[in-house]
Amino acid sequence: TLFRSRNRAGEGGGALTEPSVSAYRMSNYEEILGRLRTSFNSGKTRPLNFRLSQLNALAQFLEENKAAICEALAKDLHKSKFEAEISETSMITTEINVALNNLKTWMKDEPVEKNWATTLDTAFIRKDPFGVALIIGAWNYPVHLVLIPLVGAISAGNCAVLKPSELSKNTEKLLSDLLPRYLDQECFAVVCGGAQETSELLQNEFDYIFYTGSSNVGKIVMAAASKHLTPVTLELGGKNPCFVDKGCDPKTTANRLIWARFFNAGQTCIAPDYVMCLRETREQLVPALKQTLEEFYGKEPQQSPDFGRIVNERHFQRVKTLLGSGTVAIGGQCDEGDKYIAPTVLVDVKESDPVMQEEIFGPILPILTVESLDEAIAIMNRQKKPLALYTFSPDSKVMELVLERTSSGGFCGNDGLMQMTLPSLPFGGVGNSGMGMYHGKIGRA
């Protein structure tokens, strides 16, 4: 397995139009920011002990509310307890523990080399907090994508306003109701609302903005930030390619592809979005994918407690239309009332098909037949730069060739999603898939 670092999806709710309501919200946001900025300017968030106390409080929140978090995620996304724990609570806990174990070292001044003219001087880099940060989360991992950036904000000595996604409404309510009971409310706040409220929130001046979601909304966030020259981290998405080389073990490859593609019903920003392989490889891979799907989710995945659902009706209809591309080899069933789309594999897909024109963000895996690795790389490079790129091959030279000739936020060889689990690897996109990085030490914005 090869991991390497190489350096989502927001959408609108209903707009509130009453001027008095809007004016009230704006004044309320100004009041919140004023309170947090006063605390930051007092120096309250800078000492090591304060940062450690807030990280421990965040860990306590996760531990004491694990069952409630899993229940909210199940209601919002039909997310299984297993998926909720490994992709939400456990990953956040890991980030907290890394910060707790290393924060004292991270905070130390970093001496730098001097020249002859400064031999008797002291020269160093001091890690200085930005101030008041805004963290806008996404609905697909609605706890993870708010609290891991918060770990970085706390570790760096910032105050923060958290904006969970309104689409995962049960998780949004849980975070807004419970999290403030654990954190210092003079330094941290949770605000709720849809597109209108978020737009109004962005009119205020923050010292840093961290956004996870779609590229289209990311452009809006960046435009709002530019009015105040506010630095941003944008964690976006894209069509993550996957090349499966000849000579790969079909069953092992299928196990890892099914795991990565259909985890959280495919609603993962770093999931493989499409597969490319030679025709003879495809003929071996498709039966193995079918076998693995039955092993993971049974003959009727809709009855499986481990398979998720599409987040809402609008996304269900969007994903459903993509089933018309190519030929359905596995799956293809839909149940609108249950927001269920079966884990589906499409073959005979063309680069011009609708399923190849946007990030799928659902349980569909298209397979494109190519004649060579060169053709696969050419297709990768015709797409916008992705958040992740995958290659399965027994040949390390193939891995290196893909790395050398492509650009992506991250790369994973002979596995799927696992690069995301390492706090030691910076996580982030490039170009259309985002800017800035986080996780571990690099996430201390």
Mapped onto helix, strand or coil, the DSSP state of residue 106 is helix
Q: Is 269 a catalytic residue?
A: yes
Place of tokens 């076998």: 291
Q: What is the DSSP letter of 327?
A: E
Q: Name the E strands within 191-304.
A: 208-212, 232-235, 241-244, 274-277
User: CB of 293 within 8 A of CB of 265?
Assistant: no
- Rounded Cα distance, 61 and 342, in Å: 35
User: CB of 234 within 8 A of CB of 435?
Assistant: yes
What 3 state SS string does 246-275 have?
CCCCHHHHHHHHHHHHHHHHHCCCCCCCEE
Q: Determine how many CB atoms are found less than 10 A away from the CB of residue 427.
A: 26
Catalytic position from the list 235, 277, 359, 412: 235
Residues contacting residue 65 through CB under 8 Å, at least 6 positions apart: 174, 178
User: CB of 238 within 8 A of CB of 268?
Assistant: no
Catalytic position from the list 70, 242, 269, 334: 269
- Rounded Cα distance, 116 and 176, in Å: 55
- Rounded Cα distance, 227 and 230, in Å: 8
Residue 237 phi/psi, 5-degree rounding, is: -150, -140
Report how far apart, in Å, the C-alpha atoms of 347 and of each of 168, 292, 393 are.
32, 17, 21
Between strands 334-335 and 340-341, the pairing is antiparallel
Q: Is 375 a catalytic residue?
A: no
Task: Give me the DSSP letters along 119-172.
Answer: TTS--EE-----SEEEEE--SSSTTHHHHHHHHHHHHTT-EEEEE--SSSHHHH
Active site amino acids: 235, 269
